[in-house]
Amino acid sequence: MKKGSKPFIFFVLFLLVTYSLLLLGYVGIKLECELLTKEKFDVQKVLDSKRNKQVSLIAEVQNLSSEERIIKIASEELSMIKRNEPKIILAVNKDRIEKINIALKDKYE
């Protein structure tokens, strides 16, 4: 070997090592990105299934608390009777309510 070819060999080896490290880094980052993308899709599936479960539970709550179902259970199983007329009827004079409102406004002003 000539004395002048040593720096060239070191330069070529340096470039090969640098290129190899860059290539390995690229492959590592690409594999990490693919892994994160797969994990993202898996988590998205879990989220979608939980949202569907939540919607079904809300629908079930609405079904169980519907007025028709409650009236049916009350009349058939508990033997309750629906009242058609209110038991107590209150009659209030509108003029008297207005007088009380005016008196309250005067008191708190």
pLDDT of residue 108: 83
The string of pLDDT tens digits covering residues 79-90 is: 888 878 777 888
The mean pLDDT value for 8-12 works out to 89
The model's pTM = 0.52
Which pLDDT score is estimated for 58? Answer: 96
What mean pLDDT is reported for the chain?
A: 90
Query: Domain map of the chain by residue range?
Result: 5-108
Kindly state the tokens that stand for 31.
């594999």
pLDDT class of 2 with cuts at 50, 70, 90: low
Has residue 54 got a pLDDT over 70? yes
Burial 43-72 (b: 16+ CB within 10 A, else e): eeeeeeeeeeeeeeeeeeeeeeeeeeeeee
